[in-house]
Structure 1
Amino acid sequence: MKKITINADCEVVILESRHAQELFQLIDHSRMNLGEWLSFPTKTNSVEDSRMFIEKSLKRFSENNGYWACIWYKGNLAGSIGYLYVDLKAKKTEIGYWLGENYVGEGLVTLACTEFIRHAFTELGLRKVEINAAVRNTKSRAIPERLGFKQEGVIRNYEYINGVYHDRVVYGLLEEEWSKF
């Protein structure tokens, strides 16, 4: 998957080095919002940090072990979505996502996740997709719940971000459940 046109306003495109400047600017602009739930904003302090992340993502893509893509909305970089890994032996993956604060509430992640789920099951031949979110991050948790994922458990004290321990909810969707959805 290099590019998916979701609708007239939204598309998902694999991250490339040419996106580093826009990616950094979006992260920098949304640093406080993103940093409440995610650790990467504290590690992204320059365009070069974004470029290095993109290069690592492209390496993982070439190794068939996941990748990140950008979510474009009305011609602007709105956020990112990716397969955190692809386990071909267990036939599963985990989807991660985030949006810049100006793009929350537009339904973009739901649309992008739907395409990533379809791609995982129909093109990658996987059997399971997982999405994890902080227990208190109700907006992020709404995505898998809306898409028919089942809550599989809670991992206590999963992450320590900005002096706070966050429990993490694990959601899973099996291929046969998606077919019925």
Structure 2
Amino acid sequence: MFKWTVDQEIILLQLHESLASRYAELVQENEPYLSQWLNWPRACRHLDDFKTFIQGSLYKYADGDGLDCAIEFQGQIVGNIGFNTIDHELKKAEIGYWIAQQYQGNGIVTRACKFLIQYAFESLNMEKVQISAAEDNLPSRAVCERLGMKLEGIISHQEKVGDRILSHAIYGIYNTG
């Protein structure tokens, strides 16, 4: 299991089955908040659901198609971040993340994304990193803007979350180095 130190407060940990119980606890505590923007918290509620997620994530990592990490902030697991997809042919990676509501506003996601963008460009040889955020998810869109990402467009009717159909704002940043 690898771990990356982002800064003195944030560590990214490769997922391991031992994290499943903390994930289940976090999602249970934050289900109403997370379910505003994500569909999976309604269906992923039990320890076995998170064990299955972690197992699938490890397979994606072994295949080079994705990467998921637990976000540790000041010694506590507070969320998840990683590459939902890594497309070596297109030289593009897409970052996805979620964080417990009480930890928002500390710059955690912005700092972790900045670290992953640098990793994508320098270690994975990607040319583009993108983030897809619900159009109305202003905190997530603000992360993209703080990272210097450019809004590439809005894709309407992209995802159904609960009883709402959400459009997605697509942000991208390119390796210019």
Q: TM-score range by the shorter chain?
A: over 0.9
Supply the distance in 2 between the matched residues of 1:2 and 1:110 (Cα, whole angstroms): 21
Deviation at 1:7, TM superposition (A): 2.0
Q: Number of residues paired by the alignment?
A: 177
For 2:38, the equivalent position in structure 1 comes to 38
Partner of 1:143, secondary structure, is helix
Deviation at 1:18, TM superposition (A): 0.9
Supply the distance in 1 between the matched residues of 2:39 and 2:15 (Cα, whole angstroms): 19
Gaps of 5+ in 2: none
* Conservation of the 8 A alpha-carbon contact between 2:69 and 2:82: yes
The percent identity for this pair of structures is 34
Supply the distance in 2 between the matched residues of 1:67 and 1:135 (Cα, whole angstroms): 24
Supply the distance in 1 between the matched residues of 2:29 and 2:64 (Cα, whole angstroms): 31
Supply the distance in 1 between the matched residues of 2:120 and 2:7 (Cα, whole angstroms): 20
* Conservation of the 8 A alpha-carbon contact between 2:27 and 2:45: no
RMSD: 1.1
Counterpart residue type for residue 17 of structure 2: S
Deviation at 1:74, TM superposition (A): 1.3
Counterpart residue type for residue 26 of structure 1: L
* Alpha-carbon displacement from aligned partner over 1:126-170 (angstroms, at most 9, x marks no partner): 100000100100000011111111111111011111211111000
Gaps of 5+ in 1: none
Supply the distance in 1 between the matched residues of 2:163 and 2:131 (Cα, whole angstroms): 24
For 1:153, the equivalent position in structure 2 comes to 153
For 1:10, the equivalent position in structure 2 comes to 10
For 2:116, the equivalent position in structure 1 comes to 116
Q: Does 1:62 align with 2:55?
A: no
Supply the distance in 1 between the matched residues of 2:68 and 2:134 (Cα, whole angstroms): 20
The 5 Å alignment of 1:79-98 reads 79-98=79-98
For 1:29, the equivalent position in structure 2 comes to 29
Supply the distance in 1 between the matched residues of 2:35 and 2:144 (Cα, whole angstroms): 21
Supply the distance in 1 between the matched residues of 2:47 and 2:87 (Cα, whole angstroms): 30
